[in-house]
Structure 1
Amino acid sequence: MRNALRTAAVAALAVLLSSCVSSVLEVDGKATRPVPAALKAEMSRKAMSPAAPILIRIFKQESELEVWKRDRSGKFALLKTYPMCRWSGKLGPKTRTGDRQAPEGFYHVSAGMLNPNSQYYLSFNLGYPNRLESALGYTGEALMVHGACSSSGCFALTDQGVAEIYAVAREALAGGQGSFQVQAFPFRMTPGNMAKNGSDPNFAFWSDLKRGYDIFEVTRRQPKVSACGGRYVFDREFEGGEPRDVLAACPPALNGDDPKIAAKTQADTVTAGNLISTGTALSAHAYADGGMHPSFRKLLKRDGQADLAKRTSMTSVPISRPDAALADPHSPDE
């Protein structure tokens, strides 16, 4: 009987470690390692406490993940930007299981969504599909931010990079933040990028995302995220409280737009329109299967996938679809 129980436990552990699903087991202490001293010094320099709330922004086209932290002024300030080694799919939201799409939208990550035993060193679950995505019929699960340089719908950093982010998130959640917001965008929502992608079928969706982006850009505070009319709505108070049916028309709002935010949105719209009308908007990029930050792409070209796997993963996890990664459109400085 004892042998049978031991065999079952080993089998269960093997299944657990082969997935990205959260668990309460701890195997080697990596999930409890402290925030690196250099990063804590940077927090101190920027008037931030390790226990202060955080916010994360992800940009596919730029292959970058930003960690923001609330400083003593009460606003969020940029702590550090991490290059992403791999994300999969194309620009646009994830809509179904198996489409290899990394998601786009607004998500909230609580302590139970941190995974100390990820297949890819450490990870946290974005919570896809969120309430709006579920109502729209979108499917998929276990969409993560994790280590290594391999993606099938996730956002992959190096093991070292995700270890830092994990520690910063853990301390913020332990400090009293119930959950931290993750904003996942197709690109930095500049007038140039909006003009470049103005004919994309996802443009209306991206215009909704930009409203949340603009709130954070102007105020450096976390936007309140709601959903109704089948889309995201930000910083609204509604008669009767939050809409129960996110696909139904939005109920009357008790407040309007912040004038400063509305002014930025309007100015960006005019600038994007001018770029389009004058023919100076750049053409949009097409992705074979996701992207890779230029710093990693240079290493992949120069040293090959085996060497990059060693650099990005403690267990040398293979690079996912390296040919597609090399086809990632080059940044202007490459």
Structure 2
Amino acid sequence: MHMFDFVFSNPFIPGFVTAILSILLVLTKGWHGKHSCDPIIGIQKFHTGQTPRVGGIAIFCGLLTAWWFSSGKEGQLLGYMLLAGLPAFAAGLIEDVTKKVGVITRLVATMVSGVAAWWLTGYSLSHLHIPGVDTLLLFVPIAVGFTTFAVAGVANATNIIDGFNGLAASTIMIGFSAFSLIAWQVGDFELARLCFVFIAVAGGFLVVNFPFGKIFMGDGGAYLLGFMLAWVAVMLPFRNPTVSVWAPLVACAYPVLETAFSMWRRYHRSGQHPGQADSLHLHSLMYCRVARVVFKDARPQLKNSMTSLFMWPFPLLAALISVFWYSNTPVLMVGFVVCVLCYRLIYLRLTQFVWCIRPATISRD
């Protein structure tokens, strides 16, 4: 084994680098906090105190460490992914510092990253097991366009669920764990080892972020890891035909459904557009209606973090479905519908205090 391959056989090294850099960013916030700290006032703000939101820097450096001390196909693939992910990471990091990068600009940046990843690796979504759609995806421009849209969607979805300590990082780790287990089962050990690196880096950030919220992932970190998660989701079935394209979709069901329902909800409210922020995400409601009540005597930081504990079963359920039935498309489709129903049931329970599928009334006010 090449001495530098030690990093890939021991992914805790990049994770350790991420954790150390995260701690350093926290300790030096007196120097950069004017630009890097997250404001405590806002419709989606549930934290207290000045907290750096540039954890993406530590995450990027952790991944860069893994690439720098690697060789072989895993290192080459990670290098391509890091290069392709630069536009998404840069747009998010600039937003973290300046607070002036619009939603559309960040969406375009993630789409540019998707196109770059296809250009560098040649991977794309070529079928969905849906008649008619699969015929269209035979045309390369359509396949690339659809892949780019899907990757940008997952990257932005990851940013949307980044609302409480540990929620985004743990969801990402669960997703990569599902992908690594599937890749391992089908013999794609290169991709499995690469997933281990992403898990370790996200874990290195998590130990500083959870439970006390000393640092936030920020848009830069969320877009970067979200892009990596999305691109592994594209590569897994492309490299391994026995893996259904629905397996990665189910594994990413939580962030995907959060985004889809958020867009639908905002559309049905007057004066709002799909990209406008609000405080009605499932995790926000879980905090207000459950975590804050169950842990009413806990410190504010812990109330924030306990929200993630209540949210973890959802991505875990989706991950288990994808791992156990990764090659069975009909079962995976049913599994995705189950995830949709679970999300809807819980959401309406938290908003209308009854177990139901449809709201009693739909108001555009």
**TM (normalized to structure 1)?**
0.28
Larger Rg: 1
Q: Which structure features the higher share of helix residues?
A: 2
For CA contacts below 8 A with separation 6 or more, give which structure has more relative contact order. Answer: 2
**TM (normalized to structure 2)?**
0.26
